[in-house]
């Protein structure tokens, strides 16, 4: 039964989001038709988003194979799904319990603290629960203390992560309707701050002027198709026709294959955006029921693609420059005695794109470029620094990819290493959490004074 609830229901993001929409519509006492329609459309929006992501991931997989063949790259490839799958063999029960009670802590904190966010990115909740379970178990925690401390840490992250980004999320979206609930938030925060520091006077990526003869490039789908087709041509040429036609395309000409993969990537982006639009159209009104009745003034914290429609050009710019930063970082990691982290195209696309959107919001084109490069460096070095605290999982050839996993794992893992007593670790962690809430509440209060007409939380 626990497996059914945790893995098949709460572990399925579309169903989790659909359940919240259902609850929101029921507490608003909508008629049966609206409840059924709103719930199913919310789930469909998430399914469409996932389908687009799968199309995109398959295309990126082909790109990655050609890239590895062309440049003979060897090293650790960050992949959240892969390392969580490995972790479940040993830490499955602890992960499930931390995830379940972490969601309860999230709702309680949203109800009784100034930070009114319900974290709805279910797969990232599970990934973070797995990381916390691995670190705490490796550090000697077990039983009730493991679940209690893990749940408090997870629930805290689920409200503070969207809260620290919300001033910038509101700048991206122009509203306070939803938050970003994604554990790449540290990279997005740095991108937004870097954009603010370097982008004074820089025009938005969405105001790029092109000659009339090239006006078709204003269509995001067309510009993404051409950009990715050129990139695929380059790596296909570097990998060689023999490899592409022998190993990947099933005999199809390597240039035709590269062209179609570039367009497949663009189709994946198009599907993602369509899914996000449907999801937002349903989940935001439905969530008002929860906000008004269960957790007053709460906001849904959604997966990072939720902000992609607000700056389509920044999405591609962010991906491109985050990936370049990942390639450059490969040269410096061995010099510092760290494992080489091979840039994963999936994390660089999703977190790089989101970093580009945040960087553009605070610093225009300069912010999008340099902010996303900062994200690329972060998701190269943090996974390398995380490896030593993952215990036996650190030798499996993969690691967690997104920024927050690195920050949480490194801080928690090294704290446990330095402090031998579990009781003291427990107390120190609670003290850190209390300090974070205090600083966050004070920052919110200052923000309210400076902007009395807006709600920072």
**Predicted pLDDT at 188:** 96
- Does residue 214 register a pLDDT over 60? yes
Residue bearing the bigger pLDDT, 443 or 146: 146
**Predicted pLDDT at 453:** 42
**Predicted pLDDT at 450:** 55
pLDDT above 70: percentage of residues in the chain: 89
Residue bearing the bigger pLDDT, 346 or 382: 382
- As beta bridge partners, residue 117 has 299
**Is residue 449 very low, low, confident or very high in pLDDT (cuts 50, 70, 90)?**
low
**Predicted pLDDT at 455:** 41
- Does residue 454 register a pLDDT over 50? no
**Predicted pLDDT at 216:** 66
**Predicted pLDDT at 11:** 64
Mean pLDDT of 226-243: 88
Three-state SS for 401?
coil
**Is residue 3 very low, low, confident or very high in pLDDT (cuts 50, 70, 90)?**
low
Instruction: Give the domain ranges of the chain.
Output: 1-437
Strand arrangement of the beta sheet that strand 117-119 belongs to:
117-119, 299-302, 179-180
Q: Model confidence over 248-299: pLDDT tens digits?
A: 888 899 999 999 998 998 898 888 878 877 877 887 777 767 767 778 888 8
Is residue 306 a contact partner of residue 298, using CB atoms and an 8 Å limit?
A: no
**Predicted pLDDT at 1:** 67
Rounded CA-CA distance 276/280 in Å is 6
Rounded CA-CA distance 113/217 in Å is 46
Lowest-pLDDT range of 185-194, 219-228, 323-332: 219-228
pTM assigned to the model: 0.80
Lowest-pLDDT range of 181-190, 211-220, 238-247, 315-324: 211-220
Residue bearing the bigger pLDDT, 452 or 201: 201
Rounded CA-CA distance 400/387 in Å is 9
**Predicted pLDDT at 457:** 39
- Does residue 452 register a pLDDT over 70? no
Tokens of 197: 């520091």
> Half-sphere exposure (CA, 13 Å, Cβ side) for 150?
33
How far from the centroid of its chain's Cα atoms is residue 405's Cα?
10
Residue closest to 86 by CA, chosen among 421, 398, 456, 450: 398
**Predicted pLDDT at 171:** 94
How high is the mean pLDDT of the chain? 85
- As beta bridge partners, residue 400 has none
**Predicted pLDDT at 456:** 38
Rounded CA-CA distance 416/401 in Å is 22
- Does residue 380 register a pLDDT over 70? yes
Rounded CA-CA distance 316/352 in Å is 9
How far from the centroid of its chain's Cα atoms is residue 412's Cα?
20
Angle 305-307-310 (CA atoms, 0-180°, nearest 5)? Answer: 130
- Does residue 166 register a pLDDT over 70? yes
Q: Model confidence over 82-116: pLDDT tens digits?
A: 777 777 677 877 887 888 789 889 989 999 998 99
Three-state SS for 11?
coil
Backbone torsions φ then ψ of 256, nearest 5 degrees: -65, -40
- As beta bridge partners, residue 76 has 341
Residue closest to 80 by CA, chosen among 413, 405, 407: 405
Q: Model confidence over 35-65: pLDDT tens digits?
A: 999 899 988 987 887 788 788 778 878 887 8
Alpha-carbon distances of 146 from 101, 230, 253, rounded to whole Å:
12, 50, 55
Residue bearing the bigger pLDDT, 1 or 318: 318
**Predicted pLDDT at 2:** 63
Mean pLDDT of 2-31: 77
Mean pLDDT of 380-407: 84
């Amino acid at each position: 039964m626990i497996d059914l609830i945790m893995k098949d229901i709460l572990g399925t993001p579309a169903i989790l989001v659909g359940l919240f929409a259902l609850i929101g519509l029921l507490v608003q006492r909508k008629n049966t038709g609206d409840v059924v329609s709103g719930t199913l459309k919310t789930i469909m929006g998430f399914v469409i988003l996932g389908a687009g992501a799968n199309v995109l991931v398959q295309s990126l997989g082909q790109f990655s194979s050609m890239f590895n063949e062309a440049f003979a790259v060897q090293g650790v490839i960050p992949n959240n799904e892969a390392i969580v799958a490995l972790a479940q063999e040993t830490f499955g029960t602890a992960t499930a319990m931390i995830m379940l009670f972490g969601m309860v802590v999230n709702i309680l904190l949203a109800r009784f603290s100034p930070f009114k966010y319900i974290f709805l990115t279910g797969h990232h909740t599970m990934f973070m629960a797995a990381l916390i379970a691995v670190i705490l178990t490796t550090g000697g925690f077990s039983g009730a203390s493991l679940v209690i401390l893990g749940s408090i840490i997870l629930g805290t992250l689920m409200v503070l992560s969207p809260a620290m980004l919300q001033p910038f999320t509101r700048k991206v979206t122009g509203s306070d309707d939803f938050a970003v609930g994604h554990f790449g938030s540290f990279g997005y925060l740095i991108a937004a701050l870097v954009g603010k520091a370097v982008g004074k006077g820089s025009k938005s990526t969405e105001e790029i002027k092109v000659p009339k003869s090239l006006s078709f490039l204003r269509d995001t789908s067309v510009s993404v198709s051409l950009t990715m087709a050129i990139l695929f041509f380059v790596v296909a040429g570097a990998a060689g026709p023999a490899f592409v036609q022998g190993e990947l395309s099933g005999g199809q000409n390597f240039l035709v294959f590269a062209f179609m993969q570039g367009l497949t990537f663009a189709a994946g982006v198009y599907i993602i955006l369509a899914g996000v639009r449907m999801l937002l159209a349903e989940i935001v009104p439905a969530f008002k029921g929860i906000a008004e009745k269960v957790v007053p003034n709460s906001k849904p914290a959604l997966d990072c693609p939720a902000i992609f429609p607000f700056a389509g050009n920044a999405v591609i710019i962010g991906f491109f420059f985050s990936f370049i930063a990942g390639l450059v970082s490969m040269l410096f990691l061995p010099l510092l005695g760290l494992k080489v982290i091979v840039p994963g195209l999936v994390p660089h696309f999703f977190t790089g794109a989101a970093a580009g959107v945040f960087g553009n919001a605070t610093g225009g084109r300069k912010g999008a470029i340099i902010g996303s490069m900062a994200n690329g460096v972060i998701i190269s070095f943090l996974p390398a620094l995380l490896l030593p605290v993952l215990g036996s999982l650190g030798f499996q050839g993969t690691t967690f990819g997104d920024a927050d996993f690195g920050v949480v794992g490194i801080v928690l893992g090294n704290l446990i290493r330095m402090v031998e007593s579990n009781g003291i670790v427990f107390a120190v962690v609670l003290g850190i959490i209390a300090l974070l809430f205090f600083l966050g509440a004070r920052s919110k209060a200052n923000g309210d004074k400076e902007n009395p007409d807006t709600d920072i939380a």
